[in-house]
Amino acid sequence: MERTEIESLGEFGLIQHLTQNNETRQASTMLSVGDDAAVIDHFGKQTVITTDMLIEGIHFDLMYTPLKHLGYKAVAVNVSDLCAMMATPSHITMSVAFSNRFSVEALDEFYEGVYAACDKYNVDLVGGDTCTSPKGFIISVTAVGEVTNSHYVTRDKAQVNDLICATGDLGAAYIGLQLLEREKRIFLENPKIQPDLQQKEHVIGKILKPEARVDVVEWLQENKIVPTSMMDISDGLSSDILHICRQSNVGCVIYDEKLPIHNQTKEMAMEFGLSGTSCALNGGEDYELLFTIPQSDYEKIVLSEKISVIGYITKPEDGTNLITQQGNKHKLVAQGWQAF
């Protein structure tokens, strides 16, 4: 495959190259890429903004992460934060820094994933920056969404007796990462051995190409269910429910048997000498939604196969507890992803 050196295009030539097929989907996009700043008119709605960084060697390993998947994931994880506020995603900016080991073709592949995610989530790419890096690949994304009449949901309004809900299934991304790391070690020891990833699509897909739960936000809005608190599960269920408890000044009870865990996660966890429960509680990067609702919404929430009721909110003095399948009570502690 032909390799085009980035320096042959220059900064502005590269930006023009990477954004030449950029589409505008939102009526609110007045001015997109190509000027000093973008112009967005939200027609009276309130703006929700989030930003996130992905750094090679910390958040991803290019030995087993395809650049197209990485581009998609960079958008999805930011859209997930907007979903956690019950906001409708509308715009992103994308900034990247890269060393000279990357070619124009490599960046094309990355942006192919970016544009696929923009199409999936109906967002416009309206700006960003490109820069050289002495080492590796650094990605920074800012995502913008909108809500009407202060209808955003925060982490600090959970009420005693609220039900605790989680979307999708948990722990799969963590197991997918363990699997990819194992296959990487085997390959480095013996490059002739091909990775064994057959019938592992679910767990690998969850780590390499997570999906933001825009579908669940839309379902909640259609069914007029307004969570009292919400966040996305990026650091692990145990860490994230404790964020909600701390900021809402409440306690919680989580039931082991109610945790939604995919069969593939359970099988792979056993292979690694782990329990599915520990992966669900402490694994990160699921990008599912964790939220609380009044008990009065129970009859509505059980209509969705995408949502599991996993526990309830208690008084703060009752603490944060996990009830095992044997009926034993354990203090829930944060053992998920630590940024530093």
pLDDT at 133: 92
176 and 290 in a single domain? The answer is yes
219 and 263 in a single domain? The answer is yes
Q: Which of the four pLDDT bands, split at 50, 70 and 90, describes residue 46?
A: confident
CATH of the domain at 317: 3.90.650.10
112 and 42 in a single domain? The answer is yes
On the question of pLDDT at 339 being above 50, the answer is no
Higher-pLDDT residue of 228 and 30 is 228
Residues 315-325: tens digit of each pLDDT: 999 999 999 99
Cα–Cα nearest to 244, from 148, 310, 146, 176: 310
Residue 86 is encoded by which pair of tokens? Answer: 């019950």
Sign, CA torsion 151/152/157/163: positive
Position 243 in a domain: yes
Residue 267 is encoded by which pair of tokens? Answer: 């099988």
Look at residues 112, 147, 182 and tell me which one is the last residue of a structural domain: 147
Q: Calculate what percentage of the chain has a pLDDT beyond 90.
A: 74
Look at residues 116, 147, 178 and tell me which one is the last residue of a structural domain: 147
Distance CA 269, CA 262 (A): 11
> Where is 70: in which H helix or E strand?
helix 67-83
188 and 126 in a single domain? The answer is no
91 and 26 in a single domain? The answer is yes
87 and 235 in a single domain? The answer is no
Between strands 137-147 and 88-98, the pairing is antiparallel
Position 158 in a domain: no
Residue 15 is encoded by which pair of tokens? Answer: 């930006």
Position 33 in a domain: yes
Position 1 in a domain: no
Position 77 in a domain: yes
> Could you give the number of structural domains in the chain?
2
Higher-pLDDT residue of 187 and 204 is 204
CB neighbour list of residue 263: distance below 8 Å, 6 or more residues apart: none
Position 101 in a domain: yes
pLDDT at 151: 84
Residues 245-304: tens digit of each pLDDT: 999 999 999 999 999 999 999 999 999 999 999 999 999 899 999 999 999 999 999 999
Asked if 312 and 252 count as a contact pair (C-beta separation under 8 A), the reply is yes
On the question of pLDDT at 311 being above 70, the answer is yes
100 and 170 in a single domain? The answer is no
CATH of the domain at 88: 3.30.1330.10
Q: Which of the four pLDDT bands, split at 50, 70 and 90, describes residue 22?
A: confident
pLDDT at 288: 97
On the question of pLDDT at 28 being above 80, the answer is no
Asked if 239 and 336 count as a contact pair (C-beta separation under 8 A), the reply is yes
194 and 77 in a single domain? The answer is no
Distance CA 99, CA 173 (A): 28
- In the DSSP assignment, the letter for residue 87 is P
87 and 213 in a single domain? The answer is no
46 and 176 in a single domain? The answer is no
Position 153 in a domain: no
44 and 73 in a single domain? The answer is yes
Q: pTM for this one?
A: 0.89
Q: Which residues form the domain of 29?
A: 6-147
194 and 319 in a single domain? The answer is yes
Cα–Cα nearest to 282, from 208, 332, 209: 332
Look at residues 147, 173, 202 and tell me which one is the last residue of a structural domain: 147
Position 154 in a domain: no
